[in-house]
Amino acid sequence: MIELFKYLKGYVRVKVWGFSPERFMNLCSNKNILLWNIVKEGDIYIMNISLSGFYQLKPIVRKTSTKVVILERHGLPFFVPVILSRKIFVLGLTLCIAFWIWSSNYVWDIDLSGNYQITEDVFMTFLSENNIDIGTKKSDLDLKELEKAIRQTFTEITWTSAKINGTKLEIAVKENDALVITPASNEEEGGKDLIAEYDGIITSMIVRSGVPMVSIGDTVESGTVLVEGRVPIYNEDTTVREYQYVASDADIYMEHVLDYEDILAYDYIQKEYTGREKTRYFLRAFDNELKMSAEAPYLVYDCIIKENKPALFDKLSIPVFWGSYTYREYQNVEYVYTLSEAKLIMEEKIKKYMEGLSEKGVQIIEKDVKIENGDHEWIVSGHFYVIEQIGKSVDTPVDADPIDTAGEEIP
Amino acid sequence: MIAVIYYYMRKSGKFHKKKELFVDSLQLPKDVCMGALKVTMTGNSEVWIENYKGILEYTGQTILLQAKTCQVCFEGSRLSIDYYTNEDMKISGSITCVRYL
């Protein structure tokens, strides 16, 4: 720190000789002139003296009859005139700093996080529709308004945060990952029936609204009405006065058979890399790309694109990228599965299928699956005995005139 | 009357002794009250000195300083003064001897 101040104020290295250099030093210290790095070489004293002190030396020199000669000049007061004489350099430096400051007023990067359902492309289109793009002035951005617009445009976004970090616009969103529950509208005309989706046996049934048409242990066919949304209201003489239509609601579990079938061809194609690779480097600014060679070097290839961003300043992102395309040649080679290989793959598939079922809340009671030799393929077929919640909601057929049925007897 | 006693004591050197006693009994720092020389050494290579009057002699082998009540001589080789102000100074080099004269 002291060194910095010394540098800023400037100092000179002088040599002092003559009648009484010690007295010269004492007088200097009495006048509060700082001396440092005092070395004696023969009869000569060499020391550093501050620039302001050096200007006060004249009476001291006269008094002590010594001689003072400057050896070196250090510090900013000596450096500034030198640098000012290089006009182009100073101009360039000033322009560079000015450009830097000016460019930091713009958004140079947009970072989106937290989006799962909404793709980045969709979001960027939305942003450009709202006049927010790379190169937008930071002062033109109204982050509060932007947050509001995001929430209004994308209903699935429940929370947004937009902030500017350096020249980067950081948008964080949170999507509603819970299931969207649409409340059953009571105003809806007409009732809802629950019908069976499969053939099977009812194992459990809890009805909350509607009239149950089947009971536990019943064997039902697909399409059978399980719960009816037409609730009869009886007269005192047990005749039906009218029907009220409600949306049926029930937890019904059914034991049924799920057929499973899967085929796996004997032969399959696998990529085999030949080991030949070619790398093309590119440089991209905004949407303009400068590439070494545009043509792909192989007939059959895949490509790895590596993209780098200037990481010079974390907060100053510039839309300039560089990187490489690495083309890797490969050949499609045909292989044939052996029985054991096929078994492994099939078992894995069945396991995944079963996992998928249990995720849906389906309880598997029994499974019966076997692998057979088909025509140029392995065939897996079998059944799963499962217990599953059923009940598909359909509109209750409405009678033309409910009053007509008023005289109907109770079944 | 007091002035006469003060003058008498000062002349006879008794004042200095009384002052020393006074400073001692109150446990005051002597470098502040008596203007005693303060020498701080780290190893044999660096010395910080305060409360001196000036340099009497400076060569590469000896540095002789004048203090209020005494002189002190640092002997050694390649002695240099790192900084020199009215308040304090720093000497560095290889010091072999510190003598009070």
Q: What is the pLDDT of residues A225-265, one digit of tens each?
A: 888 888 888 888 888 888 888 888 888 898 888 888 888 88
> What is the token pair recorded at A249?
């609601």
Select the residue of A23, A25, A40 nearest B84 (Cβ to Cβ).
A25
CB contact under 8 A, B58 and A30: no
**Complete edge-to-edge strand list for the sheet that includes strand A168-175:** A109-113, A168-175, A157-165
Q: What is the pLDDT of residues B8-39, one digit of tens each?
A: 656 656 667 777 788 888 877 777 777 788 99
Whether the predicted pLDDT of A406 surpasses 50: no
Which residues in chain A have Cβ-Cβ distances shorter than 8 Å to B59?
Answer: 40
Extended strands (E) in A239-376? 240-245, 249-265, 267-285, 288-291, 301-308, 320-336, 363-373
- Is pLDDT larger for residue A198 or for residue A295? A198
How does residue A405 score in pLDDT terms, banded at 50, 70 and 90?
Answer: very low
Asked, for residue A51, whether it belongs to a domain, the answer is yes
Asked, for residue A311, whether it belongs to a domain, the answer is yes
| A48-76 average pLDDT score | 91
- Give the whole-angstrom CA distance, residue A92 versus residue A329: 48
The CATH number that domain B35-101 falls under is 2.60.40.2000
Do A326 and A358 lie in one domain? The reply is: no
The total number of structural domains in chain A stands at 4
- Give the whole-angstrom CA distance, residue A9 versus residue A4: 9
Q: What is the mean pLDDT of chain A?
A: 84
| A261-274 average pLDDT score | 85
Which residues in chain A have Cβ-Cβ distances shorter than 8 Å to B82?
Answer: 36-38
Do A309 and A358 lie in one domain? The reply is: no
Do A343 and A330 lie in one domain? The reply is: no
**Complete edge-to-edge strand list for the sheet that includes strand A377-390:** A219-220, A200-209, A249-265, A377-390, A363-373
- Give the whole-angstrom CA distance, residue A171 versus residue A62: 73
How does residue A47 score in pLDDT terms, banded at 50, 70 and 90?
Answer: very high
Last residue of a domain, one of A131, A150, A175: A175
Asked, for residue A240, whether it belongs to a domain, the answer is no
Asked, for residue A14, whether it belongs to a domain, the answer is yes
Domain interval for residue A360: 261-266+337-390
CB contact under 8 A, B81 and A30: no
- Give the whole-angstrom CA distance, residue A158 versus residue A152: 10
- Unique residue bearing structure tokens 């000195």: B49
Count CB atoms within 10 A of the CB of residue A70: 11
Whether the predicted pLDDT of A21 surpasses 80: yes
From the CA of A73, how many Å to the nearest CA of chain B? 18
Q: Which amino acid is at A42?
A: G
Mutate to test the interface with A, among B51, B81, B90 (most CBs of A within 10 A): B81
Which residues in chain B have Cβ-Cβ distances shorter than 8 Å to A25?
Answer: 54-55, 58, 84
Instruction: Pinpoint the residues of chain B covered by CATH 2.60.40.2000.
Output: 35-101
CB contact under 8 A, B84 and A32: no
Closest C-alpha to B51, from B60, B39, B62, B63: B39
Q: What is the pLDDT of residues A116-158, one digit of tens each?
A: 888 888 888 988 888 888 888 888 888 888 888 888 888 888 8
pLDDT at A183: 54
> What is the token pair recorded at A236?
């005192």
* B contact set with A (CB within 8 A): 53-60, 80-86
From the CA of A45, how many Å to the nearest CA of chain B? 9
Whether the predicted pLDDT of A411 surpasses 70: no
How does residue A13 score in pLDDT terms, banded at 50, 70 and 90?
Answer: very high
Asked, for residue A15, whether it belongs to a domain, the answer is yes
| Residue A367 and residue A384 in contact, taking contact as beta carbons nearer than 8 Å | yes
